[in-house]
């Protein structure tokens, strides 16, 4: 059974297919700096860091100090981790696996 997103449409499909064509971090910087504002990129990266810290079991106050995220943002990310589309879980698992491979 495949996942059906609430936001799926032809434009979003084209965006995600484009992102999958990026091959290096430099290419990601170049593309995302053109397509997003600096604030949007910072917000997305902050949310990913919040998700990592929540998964580690850190408290809201610790996460707020480390990331500068508001408690509302931390709460939203936490809700997504538990009740969302499992996107955070997927990427955090893959990042963990990659880190384990690098340390072997």
Q: For residue 20, tell me if it sits in a domain.
A: no
The CA distance from 47 to 67, in Å, is 9
Q: And the tokens for 24?
A: 């290096």
Q: Does 8 fall in a domain?
A: no
Q: Give the whole-angstrom CA distance, residue 104 versus residue 54.
A: 25
Identify whether 55 is part of a domain: yes
- For residue 26, being part of any structural domain is answered with no
Residue 74, Cβ neighbours under 10 Å: how many?
A: 24
**Count of domains observed in the chain:** 1
CB burial class (10 A; 0-12, 13-18, 19+) of residue 32?
A: middle
Domain assignment of residue 25, yes or no:
no
Write down the pLDDT at residue 67: 98
Range of the domain at 64: 37-103
Q: Is the pTM of this model over 0.85?
A: yes
Is the residue at 3 inside a domain?
Answer: no
User: Per-residue confidence of the chain (104 residues) as pLDDT tens digits?
Assistant: 477 888 999 999 999 999 999 999 999 999 999 999 999 999 999 999 999 999 999 999 999 999 999 999 999 999 999 999 999 999 999 999 999 988 88
CATH of the domain at 85: 1.10.1270.10
Look at residue 104 in the predicted model and tell me its pLDDT.
Answer: 82
């Amino acid at each position: 059974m495949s996942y059906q997103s609430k936001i799926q449409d032809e434009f979003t499909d084209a965006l995600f297919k484009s992102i999958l064509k990026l091959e290096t971090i430099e290419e990601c910087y170049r593309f995302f700096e053109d397509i997003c504002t600096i604030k949007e990129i910072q917000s997305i990266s902050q949310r990913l860091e919040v998700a990592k810290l929540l998964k580690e079991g850190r408290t809201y106050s610790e996460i707020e100090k480390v990331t500068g995220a508001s408690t509302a943002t931390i709460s939203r990310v936490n809700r997504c981790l538990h009740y969302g589309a499992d996107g955070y879980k997927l990427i955090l698992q893959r990042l963990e696996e990659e880190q384990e491979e690098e340390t072997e």
